[in-house]
Amino acid sequence: MRKLANTFLILFLISAGLHLTAELGRQYLFISSPVTLIQGLWLSSLLLAAILYAGFAFNRHLPLATLLPLQLWLTWSLIDYWPLENFIGPRYQLFAAVVQLILGLIILHLNRTLNNAGLLFTAKQFSGTAFSFKRFGLFSLGNLFVVPLLLMLCGFSLASHLIHDRSAGFVRLKPNGLYMAERTYRRAGKQLQLAGMIHLARPEYYTALTAAIPAQRTLILLEGVTDHQGLLTEPFSYARIAELLDLTPQGEATFAGRLISQKQLESAHSDLNPAVDMIPADLDLSAFNPVTIEVLNALAKEVLNADSPLTGYAEFNRWAQTNVPPDFDKIIMTDLIDKRNQYLAGFLPAALKKYDNLVIPWGALHMKGIEQIILERGFQPVNSRERLSIDFFDLPYAEAWNKFF
């Protein structure tokens, strides 16, 4: 157990040092960090912390005063040090890395004071009988409350990491809500902004988003699938769910500017608006697979327009089990994400010839593919910021519960 505890101390410090180096490079040198290595060390430290925490019940030599502060710090990291960002700002990760390193060094110094021999645990500190019935009983009793909380934190952390990875970092889940990222890229005097969105948000989110759009020589490439052939048999809108949660649907987000057509964009003779232009840059439903259209109609009927969305979702799942092919997930993602991203990319050459600033406020799941497209065209990231899209503390839970059920 002593060797395991010493390994934990070393890993904790290495993880802190690498985290600090990565944050310094990201914040001041715009150097990408070795994410896999950092996450691997963090997970290893967390795993050892969990093993040692369980070891408190069986080995009375494990010092609470030395190990518990480090374990609590790693537990805090499960929720991304919330609400530290609210007080420190966007450099909170750098601050957290510095504090972790200092905390680790303080613990080493404390341990040397306790054993009068070295920074790490010595054999003398672990001599004698390890098991104590009193320690085991007190630890077990206390953890009747602690373990459920730890499991909840681990579940939250897992969900947060999955959302972050799936959205290429454009969506972050925190205890107080969902945050959407807005990233700025530049290339040869041209600026491009990617604003990740979801179908529902606070009105303040849309206000802040539109206020950040450059006011001169700007083109906004609008998201929104058209249906010129009337393929949808049901109104496809998130307005019903937005009303239940007291939020605003993405479709009601308004951008100030002149609406232009693709012909105007590509014409060399059309007037260039010195302010803001907007252009629909999305596909028509006729380009989708019939399976996708069938699924969208069923989703609109059973969920989006249902009196009880949760009951309707169960109905939709039952319908899907017998009416869609096994590979329908791949079909739908190809239509809803890949085809639309490629269609959007077709607007970029003409847009970059005429405008200095491009803004793409699209769904967050599109951002990974769109970002890859613009990086391949030579754009480099220069800035990033986040905005609170859904505030969990402001949601009308009692009213929503009654309406959903």
How does pLDDT run across 68-94, given as a tens digit for each residue? 999 999 999 999 999 998 899 888 999
**What pTM was estimated for this model as a whole?**
0.85
Q: What is the mean pLDDT of residues 333-347?
A: 96
Residue given tokens 């609170």 in the structure block: 388
Residue 344: name the closest of 374, 321, 316, 378 by CA: 374
Please report, for residues 204, 224, 359, the alpha-carbon distance to residue 362 in angstroms, rounded to integers and kept in the order given: 17, 9, 9
pLDDT in tens, 177-208: 999 999 999 999 999 999 999 989 999 999 99
Residue 262: name the closest of 235, 280, 285 by CA: 280
Q: How far is Cα 355 from Cα 348, in angstroms, rounded to an integer?
A: 10
**What mean pLDDT value characterizes the chain?**
91
DSSP bridge partners of 222: 280
Q: In 10 A of CB 135, how many CB atoms? A: 17
pLDDT of 57 reads 93
- Confidence check: pLDDT of 105 > 70: yes
Q: In 10 A of CB 78, how many CB atoms? A: 19
pLDDT in tens, 246-271: 999 988 878 889 999 999 998 876 66
Helices (H) and strands (E) in the chain, counts: 16, 10
Residue 30 pLDDT level (bands cut at 50, 70, 90): low
What are the structure tokens assigned to 330, written together? 């791949």
Q: How far is Cα 59 from Cα 7, in angstroms, rounded to an integer?
A: 17
Residue 99 pLDDT level (bands cut at 50, 70, 90): very high
3-state helix, strand, coil in the chain (%, to 5): 60, 15, 25
Looking at the chain, the whole-number percentage of residues with pLDDT higher than 70 is: 96
Question: Phi and psi of 13, rounded to 5°?
Answer: -70, -40
Q: Is 50 exposed, middle or buried (0-12, 13-18, 19+ CB in 10 A)?
A: middle
Give residue 239's identity as a one-letter amino acid code.
Answer: A
pLDDT of 106 reads 96
DSSP bridge partners of 172: 179
Q: What does DSSP assign to residue 226? A: B
- Confidence check: pLDDT of 37 > 90: no
DSSP bridge partners of 387: 180
Residue 334: name the closest of 298, 366, 373 by CA: 366
Q: Looking at 12-56, which runs of residues are DSSP E strands?
A: none
- DSSP symbols for 280-325: E---BGGGS-HHHHHHHHHHIIIIIT-SSHHHHHHHHHHHHHHHS-
What are the structure tokens assigned to 70, written together? 């480090």
